[in-house]
Amino acid sequence: MDDWFEMDPGRRTPPAIDKAVLERLFAMGDSSLRRALCAQLRADFQRLHQAVLGPDGAAVGRAAHELKGLAATVGAGRLTDLAQALDARAENLGAAARAAIVTPVLHEIEAVLACLDSAAGEPPAA
Amino acid sequence: MTKPLTSDTILLIEDTPSLQMIYKAALNRAGFTVETCGTAAEGTAAFQRLKTSIVLLDLMLPDRAGLDVMQDLLVAEPRTCVIVITANGSINKAVEMMRAGAHEFLVKPFDDQRLIAAVENARKALRHRPQPLHAPRGEAPARQVLPPFIGHSEPMQAVYEKIRSVARSMATVFVTGESGTGKELCAEAVHQASARASGPFVALNCGAIPVDLLESEVFGHLRGSFTGAISDKLGAAAAADGGTLFLDEICEMDLNLQTKLLRFLQTSTITPVGATRPRKVNVRIICATNRDPAEEVRRGRFREDLYYRLHVVPIHLPPLRDRGDDVNEIADALISQMGREENHDFQGLSPRVRELFRALPWPGNVRQLINVLRNVVVLNDGPHVTPEMLPPDLLAIRAAPAPAAGERSGLSLGDLAGRTLAQIERIVIEDALARHGDSVPKAARELDVSASTLYRKREAWAKADEG
């Protein structure tokens, strides 16, 4: 089960979340922390998924900033980079230009959510 | 995992629920009790209720900027250790936070060990942190720091006390001190400790703005009032309505504009350029200069009536060389943070550098110290700053102290005899520039005037030479 973060092993895409980072977070508590944290992370990423779709550039920037910090903490490196790019530019871009940056962010959030679903069902590391 | 030094509750103010959960789990596992809050309002209320001595504070909160929250907490309880958490890892932000009184600055992501280490460091610092000024009767009050300043020296204690006292009043404050001693920081500290803290703080450097534009910058202008006035402009005085207006390098202000400033102080009204009707504004004035204002009055360069109007509460900031071990305290506060930002592992200063820092004259004061530290961190790896890492020109200052007046270069009093005062001024300035490789800032520092003064004088001489 080493590849439970691998979305498509055949294409050798890097994982959306670094398993080691997430396991280290889970290891700070018992099994209830794993369940609770997965559920909370899921809720937060879904909330931010909605937030970056908003019409207000400044609000999207704030959401991207929050997303950057959260993604970095759970080891979602690709999402961290995408969120950082959005954080830096959201406020100064028009809706169309912003959408071009937001779209890959949305896709990556979905990949992260899928990883979290796998992680939630995974037995704790020995 | 090490046990905490005490069992005080730690206040965590972080708006992302997952991160709250992660940080809390890490701290709980290390034996700390944690109270979590998701907004500035909840956090401030919890702080008042729990009286926590350590606060983990996210900088970007939904209802208020974390910086403002931190300043409120530190005003309420200056001994609080605030550990700032942010996803913005710029060095400017870190320096801004440390100057504003943060104990430590954590950039996301950080692991549980880093978090626990920051909290443990805060606990250790609290053990050594001085008690509040309200010491038991008969005991001398312990030395304290007034954020955003750093330094426990005796001269700064007097400054902190004066800032606290004057902040409670509306009195005009006149800040003096050499370049780089923190005059704007002092003005901000007065503003932040005053009842106007929630209002704007507007700073204007009178020496950096051309004379022709200064009136418009201070009082604003109406569209079409002069060539280039393509729209209405709100001046600094109006922008500071309800707050504080800080006029830096006030002695650079043109005499005509000094008259208008005096009228503004007497009537609390402003008349923008091109306007016919004055407007009432409610502004507290703080001004500063690196010159001797009384001497400027004697020389006729500063209006005496304005001087007395402004010089209600003077605060003199001591030069860094007179602040004892503050130089090392400031360096300690900044070096490890700068190291983290530059990915260079710096933990502190070597004993030799500490000794050297105490002995240096620091003509550029704290600003020079910050630049030296940045230079060291960017160009070297730690863990300790050694003399070899210091910029050579810094060591040269020590090796060759500034010559006394009359010993400078080839100039002698005989060379100046028979010349006008204006000619002598030009000779002296050009001599200083020549000795500093045409560096205006260095020459200005030596002559104890602002760089903008020298730029203006050079421009005037060039025009006169052409004419």
Per residue in B212-237, pLDDT tens? Answer: 777 888 888 887 777 777 777 888 88
Q: Is it the case that residue B403 has pLDDT exceeding 60?
A: no
Which ranges of chain A would DSSP assign to H, the alpha helix? 19-26, 31-51, 57-74, 77-89, 95-121
Cα distance between the two ends of chain B: 78
- Count CB neighbours of B81 within 10 A: 24
Q: Coil, strand or helix: which one is B434?
A: helix
pLDDT tens for chain A, 126 residues long, are: 444 444 455 556 778 999 899 999 999 888 888 989 999 999 999 999 999 999 999 999 999 999 999 999 999 999 999 999 999 999 888 888 898 999 999 999 999 999 999 888 766 554
Q: Is it the case that residue B197 has pLDDT exceeding 50?
A: yes
Which residue from B266, B265, B267 is spatially nearest to B278, judged by alpha carbons? Answer: B267
Looking at per-residue confidence, does A105 or B295 come out higher?
A105
What pLDDT does B122 receive? 85
Q: Is it the case that residue B410 has pLDDT exceeding 50?
A: yes
Which residue from B240, B246, B250, B234 is spatially nearest to B281, judged by alpha carbons? Answer: B240
Contact B278, B136 (CB under 8 A): no
What pLDDT does B263 receive? 86
In a mutational test of the A interface, the residue from B16, B59, B93 whose CB has the highest number of chain A CBs within 10 Å is B16
d(C-alpha A5, C-alpha A115), whole Å: 5
Distances (CA, A) of A29 to A4, A25, B25: 21, 8, 7
d(C-alpha A110, C-alpha B312), whole Å: 63
Contact A103, A73 (CB under 8 A): no
In this complex, the residue of A33, A69, A70 whose CB is nearest that of residue B25 is A33
What pLDDT does A65 receive? 93
What pLDDT does B136 receive? 39
Model confidence band, residue B106 (pLDDT cutoffs 50, 70, 90)? confident
Cis peptide upstream of residue B141 (ω within 30 degrees of 0)? no
Model confidence band, residue B90 (pLDDT cutoffs 50, 70, 90)? low
What pLDDT does B277 receive? 83
Q: Determine contact: B15 vs chain A, CB below 8 A.
A: yes
Contact B21, A36 (CB under 8 A): yes
Average pLDDT, chain B: 82
Q: What is the mean pLDDT of residues B34-55?
A: 91
| Interchain proximity B22–A28, CB inside 8 Å | yes
What pLDDT does B261 receive? 86
Measured at the CA of B132, the angle between CA B131 and CA B136, to 5 degrees, comes to 85
Measured at the CA of B391, the angle between CA B385 and CA B392, to 5 degrees, comes to 125
Q: What is the mean pLDDT of residues B416-423?
A: 76
In this complex, the residue of A28, A65, A69 whose CB is nearest that of residue B25 is A28
Q: Which of B143-147, B183-187, B189-193 has the lowest mean pLDDT?
A: B143-147
The encoded tokens of residue B235 equal 């001046």
Q: Determine contact: A37 vs chain B, CB below 8 A.
A: yes
Model confidence band, residue B369 (pLDDT cutoffs 50, 70, 90)? very high
ipTM score over 0.95, yes or no: no
Which ranges of B77-111 would DSSP assign to H, the alpha helix? 91-99
d(C-alpha B144, C-alpha B325), whole Å: 14
Top-ranked range on mean pLDDT: pick from B30-44, B142-156, B287-301, B431-445: B30-44
In a mutational test of the B interface, the residue from A21, A24, A65, A73 whose CB has the highest number of chain B CBs within 10 Å is A73
Of all residues in chain B, the percent with pLDDT exceeding 90 is 18
Q: Determine contact: B422 vs chain A, CB below 8 A.
A: no
Q: Coil, strand or helix: which one is B270?
A: strand
d(C-alpha B281, C-alpha B268), whole Å: 6
Looking at per-residue confidence, does B457 or B466 come out higher?
B457
What pLDDT does B397 receive? 58
